Structure 1
Amino acid sequence: MFTARSNPSVGPRYLTTRLIIIVDASVAEGANCLWGEGLIKAKLFLSESHTMRLGCMIRTYKSRSSSNSSAVHYFEFSTMSIPKLQLRFLVIGGGLAGVSAAIALARNGHHVTVLEAQQAFSEVGAGIQVPPNATRILDQWGLLSRLLDYATSPLDIQFRSYGSGQILSVTPLIPDLQTRYHSPHLVLHRADLLSVLVDEARRLNVELRTGCAAAEIDFSARTVRTVSGHVFTGDIIVGADGEKSSTRNLAQGQDTAPETTGRLVYRLTVNSDLMMTEKSTRDLVHPPRITCWLGPDMHILCYNLESRDVCNVVFSRADDTPTQQRLPGPQLVAMEEMRRIFPHWDEPLRRMLDLAESAVYWPALKGRDIDTWSHRCGSFILIGDAAHTMPPHL
C-alpha cells in the first residue's frame, strides 16, 4: 500500500485538489485508488515478481477571491519492496534501433540478446542528425560526452535558393534550440554513433551475436531459429531488422516489402580539407552549419563531419526511372550523370560535384500500411524501420 498525506499547512483558501498518479509497472492486474480530504491512498495489486514505481503530484488552485496562481502539496510515501521482474529479450537486428532498445532494456535489469545477420555491427550510410530529443536520452544514458568525441554541433541551418545561393531563411541551433530544449543538436557519422551504442551495450552485458540471420520465429514458443540452425529462446522478441524486415513478414504472415516513394536519394562525400582550399566551398565546412538548397522538386542537404574530415552531401529528386528499370540501392552513379542532373545549381554545389570522387543513389522507400506492430501471441513487437519505414526527408 502507498499512502500520501497532504501538507498540513494548506488552508481553506484552496478550492480544488487534482491528483495525478503515474504508474510504471510491467503488469498491473488491477488498480484501486481512493482519495478524500487530507488523506490520499493509492493501492495497486501486482503479481509478486513485478516492480512498481509510483509518483504523485498534487496541484491545488486558489479560489476566485485570490490571485490566479497555483501551489503544490508535498507528500510522504511509505512503500513496500517488490522483487523486480527480469525478462529475456531477443532483439533481431543490430542497427541503431536494435542496439538502442537493447541498452534501454538492459538498463532496466532485463537480459538481452541481440541477433545481427551480418558478421559485424556496421551501419550503412554516412551522416546522421541527432536532434535534442535524442541527445537528451543519450545524455541520460551517460553517452553524450562520448558522442561529442565524434560529433559536430552546427551553429544553424541555412536555407538557400538552388540557383543563386541566396539565403532564404536561417534556423539558429546554438544557442536558440539548445537553450530551449536543454540539449544539443548534433551531426555525426552513423557508424560512429553505432560504435558508441555497441560499446555501451557490451558494458551492460548485452549478449551480442553476429552472423545470426533469423530464418524462423515460433511465436507461441517464443523462439528464433537462425539460418545456421541455432535456436534462441526468450520471453519477448523484438523485430528491429530494418526496412527490408523479414521479421515483419513472419509476424504478418505475408510479404510486407516497402514501396517506393517516387523519389531518389543521392549521397556523396567530399574531403573537407580540399573544400577549405576552395573559396566557393569554404564556408560549407567552417563555421559548422547545415546548409539546405531548395529547388524545383529537388533539395540538397550538406554538413561537415569533422571526425571523418569529409562533408556529407545528400540530394533528393523525383524518380523518373521507368518502374521496370528501377534497381534496389545503393547503386553507384557516374559523376558525369550527377552534373547532368544538377546543371544550373549554385556554384558551391557544382564545385563539390567536381571535387567528389564517387556517389551512390537509391530509391527512397516507405512502409506499407499494416494493422499492428505486434503479434497476437503478445510476445513480439516491431520497432524502428521494421515497423515504420519512411523516407529520410519529408
Structure 2
Amino acid sequence: MRIIIVGAGLGGLSAAICFARKGHDVEVLEQRDSISPAGSGINIRPPASKIMHTWGLRPDLERISVDTAGNCFRSLQTGAVATKTVATDVADDPDWGTMRSVVIKVLERRAAEAGATLTFNSTVVTAEDEEAGPVLILENGSRMQADLVLASDGIRSGIRAQILRDIQDPVEPLLSDITLYGVQLGKNEMDGVKEFEQLIGSPYLNVYMGNESFVVSRYTPNLETHGCLFGIKGQTDQKALWDEKGDIDYIRRFFRGSCPEMRKVLRLCTTCDRWRLAELPDLPRWTSRNGRIVLLGDSAHAMHPNAAQGFSQIVEDIGVLEFLISQDAHASINMRTITGDWERIRKPRVERIKKWARTNSDIFIGQPVTGTKQADNWHIKSLKNTKPDMNAHFNSSAFLKWAQCYDAIGEVS
C-alpha cells in the first residue's frame, strides 16, 4: 500500500520503520527542515520494547538505553529518600530508559534503511478522505494521494480538526497549569562533583516531590547523560503558549530552596527546553469517516508524561494497526473495517493509561514528601503471581502488572 505519514517525530518515524519493513511504500512528510532533537528522557515500557524488537531495533535500544531498575521518591527540599521500590517479575521484556534526542536519530536512520522516504519542508494544509482515497494538499499547492494516511503531527495536529469536523465534543488540547523544563548534563560535567555521587551510575528513576513543584531525574550510563525534568505549577516565565525555550535563570531562582544536587544541576546547565503540560480529551474516534486517515499517537491521545507511557502507547498503536492490516489480503479495500477494529481495541487501554498519567501529575505536584531512615533499603515487590487488572487501583500491583506486562499483539490475536 501507499502510506503517507504526516510528522517525523518519534511516532511518525516508528510507524515508517514498521510499515516500510513490511514492504509498503512509505513517505514521511515533515514541516521542519530537519528532525527536531529537543526533549528530555523517555521510557520504552516492556509492551513497547517487545514490539520494537520485532522491528530489528533491539541492538540499537540496548546501545542507547538502560533497563529501569526501580523508582526512588525523594523530598525535593532535602533530597532525602521517602521510598525505594523495585518491582520484579513484571515482564519478560526490558523497561528501557533513554533520551529522546538519541532515540529520534536512531529512528530516522533506521526508517531510511527500511526504505521509507523522508520529505522535509512539507506542510499539510488540507486532508480529505475522498471516495477514491485520502488526499493531502500541501502548502506549496501540490496534491498527494495514498491508500492510508497516518496523522502523527502531535498534540497540535491540524489534521485532527479536519477529520473530526462533524464532532460536537471538544477536540483541542486541555491545558494544565503545570509547565515543564527539561535540562541535560554530560558525565564529564558531573565527574568529581560531590552532589552528583548518588546520581551517577544509578539507573533508577528519581522523583523529587515538593510544594507545587517536582523534578524527575535519571542518569543513563550508556549515554553518560543525566536528564532532569522540572515541573512548576502556576504562573511561570512562559509568554507564548507553545514556545520552546525557557529562562534558565528563572528556574534557578524558583528552585533555589531545593536539595543540593538539583541546585547544582541548574548551576551547571546553561539552557532549558520548556513546554506546557497538556493532554487531549477522550476523542469519540481517531479516524476519518472512511477510516483511511488515522490519528496516531499524540494527535489522538496526548497524555501527561508522569506515567512515562506516552511513546510506548504510540508504539503499541503502530504494532496493532500493522498486525491488523497484515491479516487482511484486501486491506486497502477494507481499511474502514480495519481501522475501526484498531480503534475499538486501543481506546480503552490508552484512555485508562492516560488517566493514570494525569493522576500521577496531581500526586507529584501536590504531596511533598520527607525522607525516613526506613527508606534506606529498596522495597522489593515481586509481581510473578499477580493477575493483571486494568480496573484496579493505580497504586496496586494488579494495575502495574496490566500496564507493564501487556502483549498488545497477543491481545489482538
Which 10-residue stretch deviates more, 300-309 or 369-378? 300-309
Residue type at the aligned position of 1:109: G
Structure 2: distance between partners of 1:106 and 1:334? 41
Structure 2: distance between partners of 1:306 and 1:122? 23
Matched ranges for 1:174-323 at <5 A:
176=88, 179-220=89-130, 221-253=133-165, 256-306=171-221, 308-320=223-235
Tell me which of 71, 92, 103 is aligned to 2:17.
103
Q: Output one character per residue of 1:334-360: Cα deviation in whole Å (capped at 9) or x when no partner.
A: 32x223212322221122222222223
Shift of the alpha carbon at 1:263?
Answer: 0.8
Shift of the alpha carbon at 1:307?
Answer: 5.2
Shift of the alpha carbon at 1:368?
Answer: 4.0
Q: Which residue of 2 aligns with 1:333?
A: 247
The structure whose residues are more often helix, as a share, is 2
Q: Output one character per residue of 1:113-170: Cα deviation in whole Å (capped at 9) or x when no partner.
A: 2112122233421321222222111212221112222223343321112223221222
8 Å CA contact 1:93, 1:241 repeated in 2 = yes
User: SS in structure 1 opposite 2:103?
Assistant: helix
Counterparts in 2 of 1:274 and 1:107: CA distance versus 1, 3 Å? closer
Counterparts in 2 of 1:265 and 1:106: CA distance versus 1, 3 Å? same
8 Å CA contact 1:143, 1:196 repeated in 2 = no
Residue type at the aligned position of 1:289: Y
User: SS in structure 1 opposite 2:194?
Assistant: coil
Structure 2: distance between partners of 1:162 and 1:248? 39
Count of residue correspondences: 302
Structure 2: distance between partners of 1:258 and 1:123? 23
Counterparts in 2 of 1:99 and 1:326: CA distance versus 1, 3 Å? closer
Counterparts in 2 of 1:181 and 1:92: CA distance versus 1, 3 Å? same
Q: Which residue of 2 aligns with 1:391?
A: 304
User: SS in structure 2 opposite 1:286?
Assistant: coil
Counterparts in 2 of 1:321 and 1:290: CA distance versus 1, 3 Å? closer
8 Å CA contact 2:248, 2:270 repeated in 1 = no
Structure with bigger RCO (C-alpha 8 Å, 6+ apart):
2
The structure whose residues are more often strand, as a share, is 1
Shift of the alpha carbon at 1:313?
Answer: 0.6
C-alpha RMSD of matched pairs (Å): 2.4
Shift of the alpha carbon at 1:369?
Answer: 4.6
User: SS in structure 2 opposite 1:149?
Assistant: helix
Q: Which residue of 2 aligns with 1:53?
A: none
Structure 2: distance between partners of 1:106 and 1:274? 40
Tell me which of 158, 164, 183 is aligned to 2:72.
158
Tell me which of 339, 358, 362 is aligned to 2:271.
358
The two structures have a TM-score, normalised by structure 1, of 0.70
8 Å CA contact 2:237, 2:246 repeated in 1 = no
Structure 2: distance between partners of 1:281 and 1:183? 30
The two structures have a TM-score, normalised by structure 2, of 0.67
User: SS in structure 2 opposite 1:122?
Assistant: coil
Residue type at the aligned position of 2:93: S
% identical equivalent positions: 24
Structure 2: distance between partners of 1:361 and 1:98? 22
8 Å CA contact 1:298, 1:316 repeated in 2 = yes
Shift of the alpha carbon at 1:389?
Answer: 1.9
Q: Output one character per residue of 1:184-211: Cα deviation in whole Å (capped at 9) or x when no partner.
A: 2222221321222222222222222222
Residue type at the aligned position of 1:146: D
Counterparts in 2 of 1:197 and 1:376: CA distance versus 1, 3 Å? same
User: SS in structure 2 opposite 1:180?
Assistant: coil
Q: Does 1:371 align with 2:284?
A: yes
Residue type at the aligned position of 2:107: L
- Structure 1's unaligned 5+ residue stretches are 1-86
Counterparts in 2 of 1:150 and 1:158: CA distance versus 1, 3 Å? same
Q: Please list every run of at least 4 consecutive aligned residues from structure 1 whose deviation after the TM superposition is greater than 4 angstroms.
A: none
Larger radius of gyration: 1
8 Å CA contact 2:215, 2:229 repeated in 1 = yes
Structure 2: distance between partners of 1:146 and 1:181? 20
Structure 1: distance between partners of 2:262 and 2:5? 41
Structure 1: distance between partners of 2:242 and 2:177? 13
Q: Output one character per residue of 1:202-221: Cα deviation in whole Å (capped at 9) or x when no partner.
A: 22222222221112123204
Residue type at the aligned position of 2:134: R
8 Å CA contact 1:127, 1:305 repeated in 2 = no
Residue type at the aligned position of 1:163: Q
8 Å CA contact 2:40, 2:228 repeated in 1 = no
Q: Output one character per residue of 1:62-100: Cα deviation in whole Å (capped at 9) or x when no partner.
A: xxxxxxxxxxxxxxxxxxxxxxxxx22111111111122
Structure 2: distance between partners of 1:326 and 1:209? 29
8 Å CA contact 2:127, 2:134 repeated in 1 = yes
Structure 2: distance between partners of 1:253 and 1:218? 11
Residue type at the aligned position of 1:242: G
Structure 2: distance between partners of 1:210 and 1:138? 25
